[in-house]
Structure 1
């Protein structure tokens, strides 16, 4: 569990040192794509609709490349490449427990060229550097990043969590539902309110990654109202090709369950891109 933490933190240090080499990072993304792996889009767009090659990138968007709605296998392959490229010492993870992901169509932490302000990319780099190298971040810097097109509290805190999971709590939908269940106020609109929120939940004694994982586990068990977990089984049952099953098993990869144990499988993907499978075992359990 949490085997991803070491390589994420090590990679964050490497990437935040690449501020003056955006072309270098963009080339890495291209190289990974050329290997047949799914990456973020590198197509920018002008106001008149003209498409052009993306020329900018930031650490959060780079991390989104392997924290999107893609398979665990693809994520591990990307990290395997980055481990070799940057000579990282940490092992490639065997799990991604507790990591919120972003949608592939919203992987950038900035807008298209015609929606970007001149300072947007620099602000994101400065925030990432500060998050990785300092004990705290400047409130004004955090707040200015919130104003970047396509970025809000949820997305920004998820990005910070990717870089430093021991310092920042992601406020994605599942975490918000988790805290709502416990009557914990999550009214965060700027850095000061976010910092106060972090102080409040630190008293629980659980790490942020543990809380994030528990939020996911509660979602798939149906312990709070959401459309990302067990409640989705009902949606599956409505599909004409769906076959009933006796047990529901939550697994990261279908390959982890012996083929002979499956009579019929249906699956959906949750926000963490773990797979929810419904199955009936041969032994009738």
Structure 2
């Protein structure tokens, strides 16, 4: 018997589509129902074998599901849970892939009817591409997924969500939602803010300094790849994890100011020490 008999994926793009593909490849899911607003994308999901069927109405889509995975912009998740909650089958688990957890978990847990469960989740994986065409079964292989239960979380529901992500190939970490948001503000949200800012800065400087972007090589392109990510998604992330993002942006600004002082002072030894510290920290991650 599959781990999940009927999985409803609301938001069939890279994240939701890849989870469905991974579970199907492992024989861990029976039926996959897709829900979304773009019917062409949903039809393509059926053609690719990601979905068994689809509908555009979330209430219809969750009927009889034993697990619902929400892969939509983070600002939309509480409203979606409020809409579908009264129509969930007994024992149904709702989880999500949003990269902000504090606001989502605190808003969604109280909405769940007796006998149904919300468990927050965040797979740390992705590309800059979107849509079901971009999904692939190995997206989560060897990647980390953070699950964010609270004191109210049901132990069996938590265990099932963990098992789902392990079946998809992820290494699962269980973490408090508030700590999660501080962690991802540092390792994910800040890098995106910096990438978007750098592209805008160079594009703005280009207006006074002449053609610059046409000379961009591998380093600039690699560093700013994530600035091609969905602007609406990152708008929502910046708004819903505002405090942690601002804290990291301020800390980064302080560090950049330290580097500026070293450059301004012509401090070669200080610069080398600054760069070496960064290199050693980066190499340690690898």
Pick the TM interval, shorter chain.
0.3 to 0.5
Higher helix share: 2
Q: Which has the larger radius of gyration?
A: 2
Higher strand share: 2
